[in-house]
Amino acid sequence: MPEVPDLEAIRSFFNRHIVGQTVTRVETPIPFLVRVPRDDFVRLLTGDTFGEVHRYGKFLLFSLESGRVLVVNPMLTGRFAYVEPKARKRARTGLILGLANGCEIRYADHLRMGRIYLTTPDQLNTLPQFPDMGPDVLDPALTEDAFKQRLLHHRGQVKGILTNHRFVAGIGNAYSDEILWEARLHPYRKRTQLSEDEMSALYRAVHSVLAWATAIVTEKMRDSIDYAEWRDHLRVHRRGGEPCPRCGATISEITAGQRVTSFCRHCQL
């Protein structure tokens, strides 16, 4: 699932390449991914011009000269590409936007779970999930005090809270493992067991891990976004059986449902 570092890298890439580019062609090979009547979607988007690309949580928001916003929620398996028309298409490519510069923006979705909308800024809160989200995890207004106050309103295990978009928007399974490792917190600790200092450590870990990872992923995607999530830099997630890079103990891995949780039992308490 794309998370903040992946989506920030994609956003940065698009802001370098598509701002000022006009959409000349719209194709929807998998129509139900687009949650707008097809004819309206094609008519309204054709001839419009891209402005800056933004992100909120796990949504990408493509501003348009008309005042509308193209919104993409890639969910688990949504992938973007920016390529020449002759480039081979990924399986289950669901949207193709031809641009005036001769390139194409493509969106492919292996599980066909993602959703694409064309709306206006004042209608964003009518989109599914959007009004339920807490503040974006990188919102400057989410200070340490604000983070702690929000944390106090949630119960349960700390990993479950971190990945709950109602708490903060943008953290998923992979980076919650990395954040908790950095903060030295066991993923199954109850929020009610966290001390004031541990909540502060968690806040600092959120920002340090996301900044560290975003820089790495952005560099990896500097010239191409035709990747799945970039995960080779992760220190604990999906590293079960390997030595912890901090203390050398074996990293544990637990699968519950479809979610893998990776952590060090020795140094995450």
For residue 181, give the nearest of 138, 235, 218, 240 by alpha carbon: 235
Flag the least confident range among 55-69, 79-93, 159-173, 221-235: 221-235
The full DSSP string for 47-78 is T-BEEEEEEETTEEEEEETTS-EEEEE-TTTE
- pLDDT tens by residue, 7-42: 999 999 999 999 999 999 999 999 999 999 999 999
Calculate the alpha carbon distances from 108 to 89, 90, 157, 161 in Å.
Answer: 9, 6, 34, 30
Longest dimension (CA), the chain: 58
Would the pTM of this model clear 0.85, i.e. be above it?
yes
- pLDDT tens by residue, 125-139: 999 999 999 999 999
Region 188-215 average pLDDT: 98
The full DSSP string for the chain is ---HHHHHHHHHHHHHHTTTPBEEEEE-SSGGGB-S-HHHHHHHHTT-BEEEEEEETTEEEEEETTS-EEEEE-TTTEEEEEE-TTSPPPTTEEEEEEETTS-EEEEEETT---EEEEE-GGGGGGSTTGGG---BTT-TT--HHHHHHHHHT--SBHHHHHT-TTTSBS--HHHHHHHHHHTT--TT-BGGG--HHHHHHHHHHHHHHHHHHHHHHHHHTSS---SS---TT-SSTT-TTSBPTTT-PBEEEEEETTEEEEEETTT--
At 229, is the pLDDT very low, low, confident or very high (cuts 50, 70, 90)?
Answer: confident
**Active site residue ranges:** 2-3, 58, 259
* pLDDT reported for residue 208: 98
At 258, is the pLDDT very low, low, confident or very high (cuts 50, 70, 90)?
Answer: confident
Is the predicted pLDDT of residue 68 greater than 90, yes or no? yes
For residue 9, give the nearest of 237, 234, 224 by alpha carbon: 224
Across the chain, mean pLDDT equals 96
* pLDDT reported for residue 147: 98
Calculate the alpha carbon distances from 130 to 61, 126, 169 in Å.
Answer: 12, 7, 10
* pLDDT reported for residue 226: 80
* pLDDT reported for residue 230: 80
Is the predicted pLDDT of residue 228 greater than 80, yes or no? no
- pLDDT tens by residue, 81-110: 999 999 999 999 999 999 999 999 999 999
* pLDDT reported for residue 243: 98
Question: Dihedrals φ, ψ of 136, to 5°?
Answer: -60, 140
Quote the tokens at residue 257.
Answer: 């449902």
118 neighbors 70 (Cβ within 8 angstroms) = yes
At 227, is the pLDDT very low, low, confident or very high (cuts 50, 70, 90)?
Answer: low
Calculate the alpha carbon distances from 164 to 91, 121, 156 in Å.
Answer: 30, 24, 11
Q: List, in order, residues 6 or more apart from 160 with CB less than 8 Å away.
A: none
Region 159-176 average pLDDT: 97
- What are the structural domains of the chain? 4-131 (3.20.190.10), 144-264 (1.10.8.50)
Q: List, in order, residues 6 or more apart from 88 with CB less than 8 Å away.
A: none
